Structure 1
Amino acid sequence: MKTKTKIIHLGRGKDLAVKAVNPSVMRASTILFKDHKTWQEYRELRKTQRVLSYGARGTETNFELEKLLCELEGGYRAHLFPTGLAALAMVLLNYASKDAHFLITDGIYGPVRTICDLFLNKIGVEVEFIKADASDVEEKIKANTKLILCESPGSILYEIIDIPKLCQIAHKNNIPVAIDSTYSSAYLSNPIKLGVDIVVIAATKYLSGHSDVVMGCVIVNEKEFKNFDKLPEALGLTTSPDDCYLVLRGMRTLAIRLKNHEENADKIVEFLQSRQEIKTIFYPKLKTHKNNEIFKRDFVGTNGMITIEFNENIKKEQAIAFVDSLKYFSIGASWGGYESLATVTTPPRTATKIDESRVFVRFHIGLEDVNDLIDDLKQAFLKIK
């Protein structure tokens, strides 16, 4: 079954003779058992299987989404979280221990640094940031390195990592590799097939696709699942079956939405290349993008994310005026929905320095008519003359 077909046909409930096309929303806190023996049996089963036992451990609606994500990513088990950041936090906490050493690539989602500062450092975990493309990973590994967390493409500047090479180095040293794969969202790339052990996706973004859900998910291979199956439940992290239903519904159009995002983004990039105000366009599909060959090898396409860097003569105040004057691009912190967004931003980096005088604007290209978007950009550029 090809990926597009999986998105449509899997995660739709039990194969009954008569059923609705979509799985039902099962809302429950208490699950009832016919007798004490059955209750005990299910408490034992839930150690290794996704079965009904208590609402906070998931209902049938949650399980259908988890099964679909596992099928798409080629994973062994999935777990759902209230947000994408909660999912990332759980990965970090799962491997945290006093005197452990973590390697994190510099292009990771910015708030991960807050988790490191507020919690990991306090319990004695040494967190070291490496280059965003992980090119220095081998020299940074220590005897006590317990986890490598990466993101490819990296946040904001879309740095590309050679994931199979990274995993080969890590596994040679018995270190699990986790990746924030929200950019690919179980469709554009399959990190587990490339060697990754743990995949994190913010379902808030492309999986939902409609900017009305916040959710995170972690998909793990069988080797790491045995190290990962207890802590989320011990901390009571769960998700609403209503939100799971919305993500399942959104995912049915994932393939055609991503294709449309990419087509619009391609045309926007073509237009931006003609603008003299722009110094650099960060878009992995461009031949000029660093490690473009790796991107073409490991990804089937791109999405709606583009970042531009203005020329040195354009100041941050002018970039703000540019964004403020846009009509069809809203200002918002998220992305992956149907709407176009634009934000003035500075990529957070630790292993490398980014001059604060550099001016970046990150775009999420939505599903509007691309000619309207281009016209909108044209009039906004007039504001920075």
Structure 2
Amino acid sequence: MKQKNLGVNTICTHIGEVEDTQFKGAISPLFMSSSYAYEDVDVKRYPRYFNTPNQEALCKKIAMLEKCESALIFGSGMAAVSTALLAFLHKGDHVVFPQTLYGGTYNFIVEEFEKFGIEYSFAKGFSEKDFLEVIQENTKVIYIETPSNPLMRITDLEMIGDLAKPRGIVTMIDNTFASPINQTPADFGIDIIIHSATKYMGGHSDICAGAVAASEKHIDKIWNLAKNLGGSLSDYTVWLLERSMKTMALRVRAQNKNAKKIARWLEKHPLVERVYYPRLSSHPDHELAKKQMKGYTGMLSFELKEKLDANLFMKSLKMIKQSMSLAGVESTILSPAKTSHSLLSAEERKNQNISDGLLRFSVGIEETEDMIADLEGAFQQISNKSLV
């Protein structure tokens, strides 16, 4: 099969398969061995070296989806984030982050970087000026998330690439909320693309994994550290992830469609203060999202009117699950203040505009009408409660 100009569903389905040479099965065989021969072989394979047959094959799929030369898979999204950052940062180096970050990434930075002698700054906003203000002579990395978690803010990828390249700065993005179906940062000059593959790549809330895609040169540098940190993924989980990614484009596009309808419905609801979804014209980064995203995302957040009980609202839902994580085929909802950003202080959450009434909604593939009915039932519950 010629691999040039393949459609995304074809890439998801066929690239990165392991050929079943013995029985000619339609799917990849699973090689569970943790011990391989080292004499008279082309490749000396070892699971912690990220080069078992299933690991290598899956990396080809991820690399092609992200339009990169190479990729690595990890045991979790945070393993991918931490390994990628530490591979390019050393004592005395400086890194720039946006103000809004996934809570786990933020906690990693503030708790661990000082131990390594790594300096860091947070941009106050999302403009070129905001990033320029915090870039220093020893800045080695600019790391961004777009869309951001949980407010769906959009960072201009082309602007970040243009800022970094003449200064010799490596750029990294957490592309989890978009997925490669909705956004390919390499098109805009971003060097390293990171995913919590637990989310849209896995898509079924049953595996934990991470991924990094980049040039072969950058992947080699990340691998050199990764093999020492040991954040590799079991081959069974690798096989499950490759299986799940076959339907990723279908799932994500269905979630995009549902999220658009629900965001518009929520925006008109009298008990909702604000909806955060980049496809809405009311979103501050709507025009930028149109420029660099293909299908936006299945993620949105909304804020209840003041004094409404967010916890009661979630408990009143019947179908939508009050649950951690995101991007599964089933719809889930959570309070960022109590989960993804609970490691931040109340003041830090306030600085990121994360209120106790903010709810993050991961839209699934259920019928839109059923989700809206479930949401309306919960709104009625909190409305009745507020009248008592």
- Residues 181, 295 of structure 2: 8 Å contact kept: no
Q: Secondary structure at the match of 1:281?
A: strand
Q: Secondary structure at the match of 1:374?
A: helix
List alignment gaps of at least 5 residues for structure 1: 43-50
Kindly provide the CA deviation profile for residues 240-266 of structure 1, in whole angstroms up to 9, marking residues without a partner as x. Answer: 111111111111111111111112112
**Cα 1:375/1:77, change in 2 over 3 Å:** same
- Residues 29, 56 of structure 1: 8 Å contact kept: no
Aligned to 2:330: 339
**Cα 1:151/1:132, change in 2 over 3 Å:** farther
The answer to whether 1:5 aligns with 2:6 is no
**Cα 1:301/1:243, change in 2 over 3 Å:** same
Map residues 226-265 of structure 1 onto 2, 5 A cutoff. Answer: 226-265=220-259
The answer to whether 1:19 aligns with 2:24 is yes
Q: Which residue of 351, 354, 358 maps to 1:353?
A: 351
**Cα 1:59/1:226, change in 2 over 3 Å:** closer
- CA shift at 1:52, angstroms? 4.4
- CA shift at 1:226, angstroms? 4.3
List alignment gaps of at least 5 residues for structure 2: 1-5, 384-388
Aligned to 1:48: none
- Residues 73, 211 of structure 2: 8 Å contact kept: yes
- Residues 34, 47 of structure 2: 8 Å contact kept: yes
Kindly provide the CA deviation profile for residues 178-233 of structure 1, in whole angstroms up to 9, marking residues without a partner as x. Answer: 00001122211111121111110111001111111000011112342343230001
Map residues 83-162 of structure 1 onto 2, 5 A cutoff. Answer: 83-131=76-124, 133-135=126-128, 136-162=130-156
Q: Secondary structure at the match of 1:345?
A: coil
Kindly provide the CA deviation profile for residues 111-151 of structure 1, in whole angstroms up to 9, marking residues without a partner as x. Answer: 11221222211221112111352541112110100111100
* 1:265 maps to amino acid: A
Q: Which residue of 58, 73, 76 maps to 2:69?
A: 76
The answer to whether 1:327 aligns with 2:318 is yes
- Residues 203, 216 of structure 1: 8 Å contact kept: yes
Q: Which residue of 277, 280, 284 maps to 1:290?
A: 284
CA RMSD of aligned residues (A): 2.1
Kindly provide the CA deviation profile for residues 304-345 of structure 1, in whole angstroms up to 9, marking residues without a partner as x. Answer: 211001223x34xx1111111101111112001111111123
- Residues 72, 186 of structure 1: 8 Å contact kept: yes
- Residues 268, 370 of structure 1: 8 Å contact kept: yes
Q: TM-score, normalised by structure 2?
A: 0.90
Aligned equivalents of 1:300, 1:356: Cα separation in 2: 27
Aligned equivalents of 2:125, 2:22: Cα separation in 1: 51
* 2:249 maps to amino acid: A
- CA shift at 1:274, angstroms? 2.2
- CA shift at 1:100, angstroms? 1.1
Map residues 276-287 of structure 1 onto 2, 5 A cutoff. Answer: 276-287=270-281
**Cα 1:345/1:54, change in 2 over 3 Å:** closer
Map residues 310-325 of structure 1 onto 2, 5 A cutoff. Answer: 310-312=304-306, 314-315=307-308, 318-325=309-316
How many residues of Structure 1 are paired with residues of Structure 2 in the alignment? 369
Q: Secondary structure at the match of 2:97?
A: strand
Aligned equivalents of 1:311, 1:213: Cα separation in 2: 35
Aligned to 2:160: 166
Aligned equivalents of 1:263, 1:85: Cα separation in 2: 29
The answer to whether 1:378 aligns with 2:359 is no
Aligned equivalents of 1:11, 1:226: Cα separation in 2: 19
- Residues 132, 159 of structure 1: 8 Å contact kept: no
Aligned equivalents of 2:137, 2:219: Cα separation in 1: 23
Aligned equivalents of 2:169, 2:234: Cα separation in 1: 33
Q: Secondary structure at the match of 1:111?
A: helix
* 2:25 maps to amino acid: A
Q: Secondary structure at the match of 1:257?
A: helix
**Cα 1:292/1:355, change in 2 over 3 Å:** closer
- Residues 95, 120 of structure 2: 8 Å contact kept: yes
Aligned equivalents of 2:310, 2:109: Cα separation in 1: 31
Instruction: Flag as ranges the 4+ runs of structure 1 deviating above 4 A.
Output: 15-18, 347-352, 354-358
- Range with bigger deviation, 24-33 or 223-232: 223-232
- Residues 83, 204 of structure 1: 8 Å contact kept: yes
Q: TM-score, normalised by structure 1?
A: 0.90
Kindly provide the CA deviation profile for residues 283-305 of structure 1, in whole angstroms up to 9, marking residues without a partner as x. Answer: 01111111211111111102321
- Range with bigger deviation, 262-271 or 219-228: 219-228
**Cα 1:331/1:82, change in 2 over 3 Å:** same
- CA shift at 1:16, angstroms? 5.7
- Residues 349, 355 of structure 2: 8 Å contact kept: no
Aligned equivalents of 2:245, 2:220: Cα separation in 1: 28
- CA shift at 1:357, angstroms? 5.4
- CA shift at 1:109, angstroms? 1.3
Map residues 179-190 of structure 1 onto 2, 5 A cutoff. Answer: 179-190=173-184
The answer to whether 1:66 aligns with 2:59 is yes
Aligned equivalents of 2:84, 2:126: Cα separation in 1: 21
- Residues 283, 307 of structure 1: 8 Å contact kept: yes
